[in-house]
Amino acid sequence: MAESGKGRLTPAAMLLAPSILRHALRTALAATLTAALTLLLSLDQGYWAVFSSILVMQADFGSSIQASWSRLLGTAAGAALGALAATLAEALLGPGASAFTLAMFTGILMCAALAGINENFRLAGVTAAIVICLHKAGGNAFTLGASRFLEVGLGIVVALCVSLAWPSRARVLLRFGAAKALAGLAGLLSALMDSRMSGQYDQQRIFHQKDTALRLSLKNRQLLASARREPGPSREGERLADLLQALDRLAEHMRSMDHAIVNAPPEGFHRHLPSELTELGASAQALLLALSQLVSNAQGETQGTEAPSLADTRSRLERALNATGDKLLELRGERVIAGYDLDEVMHFYAFYHGLRETARETLALAARLGMGS
């Protein structure tokens, strides 16, 4: 518990984190530039442009593109539907509260229906309501709608220009996220091995590691979606997608190990090969940590040769995998397993299968990353 407490960042440290400071500065710069442009262009309601620049500025460029597209579509639909509803209601009922009520009801109804079909239109209702309210105060509804669209577009263009000039790439963030996920899986594997070999299931530690792995997986999936929207070579995006799939398979193998040991008896067949299983788990953990360092290095995936430490760690895991398999064959030949009931045998082989597949998947991933594939 002390270690986890030491690893946590204080609120002050989080505020000073480079990624947070960079995002804050980019957002402030985009808002300030937009505000200056609205003054230069003498826009009466230029604050909508400033709002837009703040709203669409995301932590990475891919997310900013998605947010910009969503806001632009929502604004266009809301401006058009709001102006249409206000104009038709006034033509039917004449100026007054009845026309305003009808326009608001029909305009928001149509926008909400669009938002239900496609979430990119979820802000359409806000724009439609603004146009209808301003039209009631005086002014042509379609002119108001066009002005709102141009103001929002101005804020979006400024935000995207700042993002391009001072980029924060989702692919870079995803690389570091994948590195953290590999380190997290190494921690989960360590917790599982300690629980099995000690015969005491550490529920709190294992739950914490599984929860961390799940959170990182969800965050990395979101970053992958953003990375695919960014300009750049598609090969890198596919390489990152392949890495995430490998991480998912590793997590699945470790969940199988967890299921096998949660209700397993403390003393079981595994006690006949403690050194082999311990070394297999330790060498797999070491390779996961080595891969974490490799992935976090921006140059690591493009190098054509492996780092010596990675090659050595791979060889260690291969030897441990072979040694465990040989020892298990020896024990089976001696019919040691016949002294255990079926339930214990199933628990052991479920655990061993998960550990073996974790090792194999890690070796395969190391081969792909080491070759820069």
Q: Is residue 4 part of a domain?
A: no
Neighbours of 337 (CB within 10 A): 15
Residue 5 burial (CB count, 10 A): 7
How far out from the chain centre does Cα 243 lie? Answer: 13
Give Cα separations from 278 to 191, 314, 353 (angstroms). 12, 16, 15
Mean pLDDT by 10 residues, the chain (373 residues): 44 54 82 90 84 78 72 89 92 89 93 88 88 86 88 86 70 83 94 90 91 88 75 70 90 93 81 91 94 74 51 92 92 82 84 94 88 46
Q: Which two tokens stand for residue 90?
A: 């006034």
Span 246-305, pLDDT tens digits: 999 999 999 999 998 887 777 778 888 899 999 999 999 999 999 998 888 754 444 444
Residue 362 and residue 276 in one domain: yes
Please report how the helices 170-198 and 203-229 are oriented relative to each other, as an axis angle in degrees rounded to 10.
160
Q: Could you give the count of Cα atoms lying within 13 Å of 249 in the half-sphere of its Cβ?
A: 16
pTM of the full predicted structure? 0.62
Domain final residue, candidates 165, 184, 219? 165
Residues 223 and 326 in one domain: yes
Regarding whether 359 and 328 lie in a shared domain, the answer is yes
Q: Using CA atoms, how far apart are residues 347 and 243, in angstroms rounded to an integer?
A: 30
Cβ neighbours, 10 Å, residue 213: 21
Would 13 be classed as within a structural domain?
Answer: no
Can you tell me the distance from the alpha carbon of 245 to that of 371, in angstroms, rounded to the nearest whole number? 18
Whether 2 is in a domain gets the answer no
Same domain, 56 and 116: yes
Q: CA-based angle 221:225:230, to the nearest 5?
A: 140
Q: What does the angle CA 59 – CA 64 – CA 67 come to, to the nearest 5 degrees?
A: 120
> 175 and 159 in one domain?
no
Residue 1 domain-assigned? no
Q: Alpha-carbon dihedral of residues 259, 262, 264, 269, nearest 10 degrees?
A: 70
Q: For the chain, how many structural domains are there in total?
A: 2
* H/E run at residue 269: none
The Cα 4–Cα 7 span in angstroms is 5
Whether residue 102 is contained in a domain is answered as yes
CATH of the domain at 273: 1.20.58.220
Q: Does 322 share its domain with 224?
A: yes
Is residue 92, in this structure, part of any structural domain at all? yes
With contact defined as beta carbons under 8 Å apart, do 250 and 209 qualify? no
Of 103, 135, 165, which marks where a domain is finished?
165
What residue numbers bound the domain in which 288 lies?
170-370
- As to burial, measured by CB atoms within 10 angstroms (0-12 exposed, 13-18 middle, 19+ buried), residue 111 is buried
Pair (146, 285) in one structural domain: no
Q: Is residue 7 part of a domain?
A: no
Predicted pLDDT of residue 231: 64
Nearest to 339 by CA among 237, 268, 265, 279: 268
Give a yes or no: residue 10 inside a domain: no
Q: Identify whether residues 122 and 54 lie together within a single domain.
A: yes
Residue finishing a domain among 118, 140, 165: 165
Per-residue pLDDT at 123: 83
